Amino acid sequence: MSCASGPSVKTTCPYCGVGCGIIATPQQDGSVEIKGDPEHPANFGRLCSKGSALGETVSKEDRLLYPEVDGRRTDWDTALDLVAEKFSSAIAEYGPDSVAFYVSGQILTEDYYVANKLMKGFIGSANIDTNSRLCMASSVAGHKRAFGSDTVPGTYEDLEQADLVVLTGSNLAWCHPVIYQRLAAAKEARPHIKVVLIDPRRTMSADIADLHLAICPDGDVALFNGLLDHLARTAVLDRDYIEANTNGLAEALLCAQSMAGNVVADTGLSREEIDAFFDLFASTRKTVTVYSQGVNQSSCGTDKVNAILNCHLATGRIGRPGMGPFSITGQPNAMGGREVGGLANMLAAHMDLGNPEHSKIVQSFWQSPDLAMQPGLKAVDMFRAVADGRIKALWIMATNPADSLPDAGAVEEAISNCPFVVVSDVIHSTDTVRHAHVKLPAAAWGEKDGTVTNSERRISRQKRFLELPGEVKPDWWHLAEVARRMGHDEAFSYSGPAEIFREHASLSAERNDGARDFDIGGLKAISDADYDALAPVQWPVKSADDLSDQRFFAGGNFFTPDHKARFLAVSNPDERTRDADHPLILNTGRIRDHWHTMTRTGRSPRNSSHMGEPYCEIHPADALRHGISEASLVEVSNAQGHCLVRAMISTRQQEGSVFVPMHWTDQFASSGRVDTLVAPETDPVSGQPASKNVAVAIRAARMKIFGFLVSRDKPDPCWSAYWALARINNGWRMEFALSDADLNGFVEAACGKPLATAAQRLTSDQPYLNRAIWLESGQLDTALFTASQPVAVSRSWMVGRFEASADERVPTGLLAGRPGVDQPDKGPIVCSCFAVGANQIRAAIGEGHRDVAAIGKATCAGTNCGSCKSEISGLIHEASPIAAE
Ligand code: SF4
């Protein structure tokens, strides 16, 4: 039950690492009004399409509301006693390393802190890892190698103050949209700002790029080594900075020089493109290099990070306004997890496992009976240990490894065979939760209370504005209650998140004389009331009135023993093996309006309107070669697994490579789990999987019938070879396709409608459109279209029939699946905030509106969150390539 129309609450977006501030206002009818917080320094009021649709995600549908054991509801005591008993008995019989926690960048810092303290300080194992391993572990490892600490030196402001912003392995426009908007606005205000996009794909971020380098996968080390060599040859090195603050340049440079002659071959770029980039970098002092998953998710991710850091250290472009390397995290609290030590190779408060001094500090602070001394299992290795039986009891919190880890099929099997699995989650049915012996209902966004840290080290409050439904409890409480039942009552007797935060802040300051970067000791005595009202604050906060420099390393002072940064000699990765049967390179990643495994955005009609099904983006030449046509179905496969997804043919994709998004699960599509294709290969330093460079084959999937269905009730799609479900307002939409074997009886199974006479016609192997419509009390209930080729109806118009007012729901044209000639067909949705389609934007372009602002005035598209501006720009470009140059 939601609070009755409550006061506005300032909180934080639960999606990406930008960490935008939100003002949430519960309404009388149970809905929630969402606005950007104009005072939050991350977004100054902006929100992207995901953040602004958060109000559509807070329903209680499919929520896990009560504890369950073996699929049956139980009480909290029974569930918690069982968890404590199973973990204790596994530890007693097989030792502390026989148990593991797999947590998430979605949980709050306070939850993370308690999980880490229990595992590393009281169970005595470091077997706690997080889905952040899949996101930014290579950045952490690269930072630690170069700086001696996991420090992000800069701030978001630097992107606005720079004269050159290099985006490498970062589709900022879709993955961190508000930072992209800030950069785009800065470029508009100061048009001389140059943007270079380094990405194998021409992503939507190319819209503001002056130069796009379509680098070959994993060519980044070669490119940045080539740049280092160029900077040395052109005397752009900052010799004073290097001399005073760094070590190891000679070795790094020697390595870079040895590779410089092959930079064209190693990057796949032309000499002219490379020279243009090198000259721009060399001549622009105020440079920021933004990098993200395209750099991190690689078998050489850590080396890529260090190749980038080398160039910034060599030019002294670090920690000063408008200068620096900038790792942007994927998740809302990846940084908070790093701060508490939520990775298996870290201790707590940025202290190191295996460092005797750090161990002493943490052990005495926690009064720990059995502190872990060695690193634990990183994510991929952890699930290998689950598979081979070393892990006897596993606790998964707020994440869905059955879909998101590489070799996802094997991971799901391992979870299903693990002797004891606990899942703390919000959702009752995910591909992971279905295998849990014990399900613990956790607080969702809107019900949580604690802090998160964004990519620029800014700690913000995530605050509760909805009551906890059913018997839901926060994650920290699940952990503390189990810890107490395992005999650690005193150390886990927390009254609430404020007390946990104070302890976390105190630990950060414990015997910290400036030797460690993470210090929020200024907040260790914060009162409950001040914690509740805590305004976003960037660390370090060494004392209560600390207004210290928000950037690190302009004057050196690195966290290495000699306070000097280390250059790393990094060479090209080994060539990845390709075989003739799997000639294409698969790249995986996010799309604009969905998030992770869609447990939240999949509930939102608005978020589901942009991309309604999983797809494979293919270059036209590859599509032609494989006989694949637009909107047909394509099978993507390798020895690991296979996906069946919609073909999207696009020159944004490089020839020889394909892209499939990471979001679809068995809950939303028949076979859209792209991580079933990703091998469990990891970076040897960071343990981060290589999710962007996977060898695959593609082939056209031959289907007998293609179909499209909109329905008030959720269809049961188990009858078709291919299906993809998406939420719409007041119902569902579904794409499907039938093989020969699926034809019998699909209509009744699909819709539960008596339609024997029509069934034959709907399954007839004809190119023309067959259709059937059901009305209930004169209102549209279900509409079904089939053909022997991809169904050509106006999806947005059909979806709109469920949104229209009651007396408009059965208009003429319904059977045609598109509006009559007198009504416009908006086409595929581009602007999800105002449901503006591509056809409407094309019409506005045709009327002479030739820039994004003019299109916005004419159609409203792009005038709310702005996430679609780059796509609008793409349509303008398509319509008039010369004018748009
Ligand atoms: Fe949320 Fe979008 Fe801001 Fe990321 S950019 S925090 S998804 S509103």
Tens-digit pLDDT profile for residues 161-191: 999 999 999 999 999 999 999 999 999 999 9
pLDDT greater at residue 868 or residue 318:
318
Distance CA 99, CA 390 (A): 8
The Å distance, Cα 734 to ligand 1 centre, comes to: 28
Can you tell me the mean pLDDT for 467-476?
97
**CB of 48 closer than 6 A to ligand 1?**
yes
pLDDT the model gives residue 579: 82
Among 47, 596, 864, which residue has the most ligand 1 atoms within 8 Å of its CB, making it the best to mutate? 47
Lowest mean pLDDT among 205-209, 304-308, 602-606, 868-872: 868-872
Task: Report the atom number in ligand 1 closest to the C-alpha of 22.
Answer: 8
**CB of 20 closer than 6 A to ligand 1?**
yes
Distance CA 594, CA 610 (A): 9
Task: Report the atom number in ligand 1 closest to the C-alpha of 18.
Answer: 6
Spatial CA neighbour of 819 closest among 785, 789, 843, 795: 795
Say whether 675 sits in a helix, a strand or coil: helix
pLDDT the model gives residue 720: 83
pLDDT the model gives residue 821: 66
Asked if 236 and 282 touch (Cβ cutoff 8 Å), the reply is: yes
Supply 204's token pair. Answer: 């939507």
Amino acid at 95: G
Spatial CA neighbour of 135 closest among 284, 329, 321: 329
pLDDT the model gives residue 505: 98
pLDDT the model gives residue 162: 98
pLDDT the model gives residue 477: 98
The Å distance, Cα 329 to ligand 1 centre, comes to: 12
Residue 128: is it exposed, middle or buried by C-beta count within 10 angstroms (0-12/13-18/19+)? Answer: buried
**CB of 36 closer than 6 A to ligand 1?**
no
**CB of 50 closer than 6 A to ligand 1?**
yes
Q: Is the pLDDT of residue 65 over 90?
A: yes
The Å distance, Cα 592 to ligand 1 centre, comes to: 11
Q: What is the pTM of this model?
A: 0.93
The strands making up 324-327's β-sheet, listed across from edge to edge, are 211-213, 194-198, 164-168, 287-291, 324-327
**CB of 328 closer than 6 A to ligand 1?**
no
**CB of 173 closer than 6 A to ligand 1?**
no
**CB of 22 closer than 6 A to ligand 1?**
no
Query: How many percent of the chain have pLDDT more than 70?
Result: 94
Q: Under 8 Å CB-to-CB from 8, ≥6 apart: which residues?
A: 23, 24, 25
Q: Using one digit for the tens of pLDDT, what is the confidence trace for 202-239?
A: 999 999 999 999 999 999 999 999 999 999 999 999 99
How many CA atoms lie within 13 Å of 141's alpha carbon, on the beta-carbon side?
A: 29
Which protein residue's CA is at the shortest distance from atom 2 of ligand 1? Answer: 48
Q: What values do phi and psi take at 827, rounded to 5? A: 80, -175
**CB of 18 closer than 6 A to ligand 1?**
yes
pLDDT band for 746, please (50, 70, 90 cuts).
low
Task: Report the atom number in ligand 1 closest to the C-alpha of 36.
Answer: 8
Supply 88's token pair. Answer: 């204790």
Spatial CA neighbour of 474 closest among 503, 446, 434: 446
Can you tell me the mean pLDDT for 117-137?
96
Spatial CA neighbour of 8 closest among 50, 53, 41, 55: 55
Q: Under 8 Å CB-to-CB from 467, ≥6 apart: which residues?
A: 1, 2, 3, 447
Q: How many CB atoms lie within 10 A of CB 464?
A: 19
pLDDT greater at residue 192 or residue 746:
192
Lowest mean pLDDT among 453-457, 775-779, 859-863: 775-779
Residues 805, 810, 816, 822, CA torsion sign: negative
Residue 884: is it exposed, middle or buried by C-beta count within 10 angstroms (0-12/13-18/19+)? Answer: middle
pLDDT the model gives residue 547: 65
Q: Under 8 Å CB-to-CB from 553, ≥6 apart: which residues?
A: 147, 151, 153, 245, 318, 319, 565
Asked if 482 and 65 touch (Cβ cutoff 8 Å), the reply is: no
Asked if 336 and 453 touch (Cβ cutoff 8 Å), the reply is: yes
Q: Under 8 Å CB-to-CB from 808, ≥6 apart: which residues?
A: none
Q: What is the DSSP string of 256-283?
A: HHHHHTTHHHHH---HHHHHHHHHHHHH
**CB of 674 closer than 6 A to ligand 1?**
no
pLDDT the model gives residue 779: 82
Q: Using one digit for the tens of pLDDT, what is the confidence trace for 75-85?
A: 999 999 999 99
The Å distance, Cα 48 to ligand 1 centre, comes to: 6
**CB of 19 closer than 6 A to ligand 1?**
yes
Can you tell me the mean pLDDT for 779-796?
88
Among 46, 178, 180, which residue has the most ligand 1 atoms within 8 Å of its CB, making it the best to mutate? 178
Among 12, 13, 52, which residue has the most ligand 1 atoms within 8 Å of its CB, making it the best to mutate? 13
The 8 Å CB, 24+ separation contacts for 58-61 are 58/2, 58/31, 58/32, 58/444, 58/445, 58/446, 58/466, 59/603, 60/469, 61/603
Distance CA 449, CA 472 (A): 13
Distance CA 555, CA 553 (A): 5
Q: Is the pLDDT of residue 582 over 80?
A: yes
Q: Is the pLDDT of residue 4 over 60?
A: no
Q: What is the DSSP string of 112-174?
A: HHHHHIIIIIII----EEETTHHHHHHHHHHHHHHHSS------THHHHH-SEEEEES--HHH
Among 18, 49, 56, which residue has the most ligand 1 atoms within 8 Å of its CB, making it the best to mutate? 18
pLDDT greater at residue 635 or residue 871:
635
- H helices, E strands: number in the chain: 31, 33
**CB of 53 closer than 6 A to ligand 1?**
no
Tokens 């099904």 correspond to 613
Tokens 């902006």 correspond to 46
Asked if 305 and 327 touch (Cβ cutoff 8 Å), the reply is: yes
Query: How many percent of the chain have pLDDT more than 90?
Result: 76
Spatial CA neighbour of 250 closest among 565, 569, 571: 569
**CB of 43 closer than 6 A to ligand 1?**
yes
Can you tell me the mean pLDDT for 287-292?
97
The Å distance, Cα 22 to ligand 1 centre, comes to: 10
Can you tell me the mean pLDDT for 152-164?
97
Q: Is the pLDDT of residue 669 over 70?
A: yes
Say whether 439 sits in a helix, a strand or coil: strand
pLDDT the model gives residue 549: 63
Residue 44: is it exposed, middle or buried by C-beta count within 10 angstroms (0-12/13-18/19+)? Answer: middle
Asked if 656 and 585 touch (Cβ cutoff 8 Å), the reply is: yes
**CB of 47 closer than 6 A to ligand 1?**
yes
Determine the length of the chain. 885
Bridge-based pairing state of the strands 584-589 and 657-661: parallel
